[in-house]
Amino acid sequence: MERASRAGTRRRATWKVEYAKRLPPDVIKALMGVDRSYVEGAFAGIRARSGNLDAYYKDELGLSATDIAALCARYLEKAR
């Protein structure tokens, strides 16, 4: 079963790569890039729904202060 599952995963990954090769460059850029207005819109939605990021993390995502600290330690770098 595990072997069949890995083969299926490889087939899906191969299909995705082949599909992506046919996309126009402007579409790839849109998918791989970040548009400032999208990020600002996401934060505006979070503020409208939860008031601030801390409340969003706690109330919407169910993260504790310990969870947030662990994520920060793992994914953020200290400013130089």
- How do residues 28-50 score in pLDDT, each as one tens digit? 888 888 889 999 999 999 999 99
Q: Is the pLDDT of residue 2 over 70?
A: no
At residue 8, the pLDDT reads 67
- Write the DSSP assignment of 16-42 as a string of letters: HHHHHHTS-HHHHHHHHS--HHHHHHH
At residue 22, the pLDDT reads 84
Distance CA 52, CA 41 (A): 14
Asked if residue 49 lies in contact with residue 41, where contact means CB atoms within 8 angstroms, the answer is: no
Domains in the chain: boundaries? 1-33, 35-80
At residue 3, the pLDDT reads 59
